[in-house]
Structure 1
């Protein structure tokens, strides 16, 4: 029997409107979506799903290995979405690693997916964990120990946690308090299991799958992202058929850094209509890409 993951209900709506499922990124939790304005999901069934190893999806180490083997956790997502809305396709939203998971689910169970909104998308683990810190994290013994130490220090105090979150942003005044619920979930998780899922990320490459993906993808690209470089995010457009993009002047967390612009872009995607003008400089540098809407 396929285990069903826990889910957080963000909103409920009429059956006539397509449901939305949201996936957070690595070292995040479903609480990040819950902290955003309810109007983003109003009038629709919307659920937030945890990544494996992240609270509230708590299980034994052996159970996590079963979920990661052959990407079986994707079947758990599919079983849950089918149970929640039998026979209906879902609109998927994924942030960072969550976008990778959404893309993988669309390839695994295309009948359950109508389209995808990928925010600051990561689709290949090869770009994750770059530099000296990434190299140290991959060491067999020191890697897990160092990760556990880093997690404990980062989560020890609310102010320290917010400083860590601020490190991946690039705009002043980011609403870091909206991530406080994420800290509570990370404290409840097992660092060893989060580290194990990080290994799954490092070994995953969606490049070949993107060429075969037959579902529309709209990427919200963050042009100042220090975590997933914009060039990697832009590559999603050329690799996936029917993909388009919105560019935000933001770091890795546009929903905290530029919430008004993020809301406009997200609602445009949710309501299936475009908006706004293209940043001339950015568009000129990437004139071979397909832009649908850009908010400044």
Structure 2
């Protein structure tokens, strides 16, 4: 595979966000300009600037995890937010902003290993299972022993919660009092076609492993190509991450910056664990607690059928289907925030009952 092809496909993988694999996008500069000139009601939103009290949590293999805490330390309930592949804790911007006034709640945000401000993982520990152990380390380091938590995860963050349930089922119904799964999957991501017809999807799936290996070997070259191709990255991001063509260009830019800041080698490192992810059996553990499943009807990365499959495995869970793409917490923030706030209220009596 020549360097040019690896570079182009690598840029698309970085932009895809959850399972990331890319297709060539023919985007003329005038078309990109037209997209950027759309109405931008969120232009003054301080994306990436909302911060909490910083804390470093050391993972079991020594990787430092960057954590931030918002809200009173004596709150009766803590909500821990786990972000998705190629993103950072800042992807929860609107939820951090709008849940700040929620009574008697503190929020914990963290960057998953190799993402954002957290330390770089070696390849052997770039796995969903290790991320589940990381989440446990974050809970234990930021929450007093025995205090209840609600877990919220988007995309890979939802898979991280499933890994925690798989490896530490005793926590659910005890420490864990509620779970929100947003645009995620319990498995089958290796069959992803990104909305392509099945005949093209087969070719797409066959090509991905070789492309990912090439990216891992030529990471620095691909990263340079990504920086040069920012206009194309903008168009791919809007296409892959959002359903609404009228989404504010500032939000698209924000998502593209998060993805673009993730080294291509990290994207390559985590792809195999995402493709192999299979935690359907772990969903049985989540039946012990109140849950909400949020799905976007035009999500190309963890499609609607994946969210419905999770909801079917959690018959007592609230299922929220909304018009949106893969990053609904940014595209439809109020709906997602309301779903989380509703879960918190459902979890309160559950947590009180368990602690009585």
User: TM-score, normalised on structure 1?
Assistant: 0.77
* Deviations, residues 141-162 of structure 1 (Å, cap 9, x unaligned): 4353588776654454654443
* Deviations, residues 5-39 of structure 1 (Å, cap 9, x unaligned): 42342522252331111111112111211355612
Change in CA separation of 1:180 and 1:106 when aligned onto 2, cut-off 3 Å: farther
| Greater mean deviation of Cα atoms: 176-185 or 71-80 | 176-185
Which of 115, 118, 121 aligns to 2:178? It is: 115
Which of 68, 72, 76 aligns to 1:17? It is: 76
**Is 1:54–1:185's contact at 8 Å kept on the other side of the alignment?**
no
Following superposition, the deviation at residue 250 of structure 1 comes to 1.2
5+ residue gaps, structure 1, are 274-296
Change in CA separation of 1:148 and 1:75 when aligned onto 2, cut-off 3 Å: same
Change in CA separation of 1:245 and 1:31 when aligned onto 2, cut-off 3 Å: same
Is 1:72 the counterpart of 2:130? The answer is yes
Change in CA separation of 1:113 and 1:158 when aligned onto 2, cut-off 3 Å: farther
Partner of 1:165: 237
Give 3-state SS (helix, strand or coil) of 1:267's partner. Answer: helix
* Deviations, residues 103-123 of structure 1 (Å, cap 9, x unaligned): 222333342422111111222
Following superposition, the deviation at residue 248 of structure 1 comes to 0.7
Alignment of 1:249-260 (within 5 A): 249-260=323-334
**Is 2:185–2:307's contact at 8 Å kept on the other side of the alignment?**
yes
**Is 2:83–2:153's contact at 8 Å kept on the other side of the alignment?**
yes
Following superposition, the deviation at residue 243 of structure 1 comes to 2.2
Is 1:26 the counterpart of 2:85? The answer is yes
Change in CA separation of 1:117 and 1:178 when aligned onto 2, cut-off 3 Å: same
**Is 2:64–2:119's contact at 8 Å kept on the other side of the alignment?**
no
**Is 2:298–2:324's contact at 8 Å kept on the other side of the alignment?**
yes
Which of 206, 226, 231 aligns to 2:300? It is: 226
Following superposition, the deviation at residue 179 of structure 1 comes to 5.6
User: TM-score, normalised on structure 2?
Assistant: 0.65
Which of 77, 101, 107 aligns to 1:42? It is: 101
| Greater mean deviation of Cα atoms: 153-162 or 142-151 | 142-151
Following superposition, the deviation at residue 192 of structure 1 comes to 1.4
Cα distance in 2 for residues equivalent to 1:66 and 1:227? 23
Give 3-state SS (helix, strand or coil) of 1:19's partner. Answer: strand
Cα distance in 2 for residues equivalent to 1:182 and 1:146? 24
Following superposition, the deviation at residue 91 of structure 1 comes to 0.7
Which of 140, 144, 147 aligns to 2:216? It is: 144
Is 1:205 the counterpart of 2:278? The answer is yes
Cα distance in 2 for residues equivalent to 1:179 and 1:92? 26
5+ residue gaps, structure 2, are 1-58, 194-200, 348-356
Give 3-state SS (helix, strand or coil) of 1:117's partner. Answer: strand
- What is the number of residues matched between the two proteins? 270
| Greater mean deviation of Cα atoms: 210-219 or 190-199 | 210-219
Partner of 1:292: none
Is 1:242 the counterpart of 2:242? The answer is no
**Is 1:225–1:252's contact at 8 Å kept on the other side of the alignment?**
yes
Change in CA separation of 1:148 and 1:122 when aligned onto 2, cut-off 3 Å: farther
Which of 95, 115, 122 aligns to 1:54? It is: 115
Change in CA separation of 1:54 and 1:246 when aligned onto 2, cut-off 3 Å: same
Structure with larger RCO (C-alpha < 8 A, sep 6+):
2
Change in CA separation of 1:174 and 1:256 when aligned onto 2, cut-off 3 Å: farther
| Greater mean deviation of Cα atoms: 120-129 or 146-155 | 146-155
Partner of 1:278: none
| Greater mean deviation of Cα atoms: 12-21 or 222-231 | 12-21
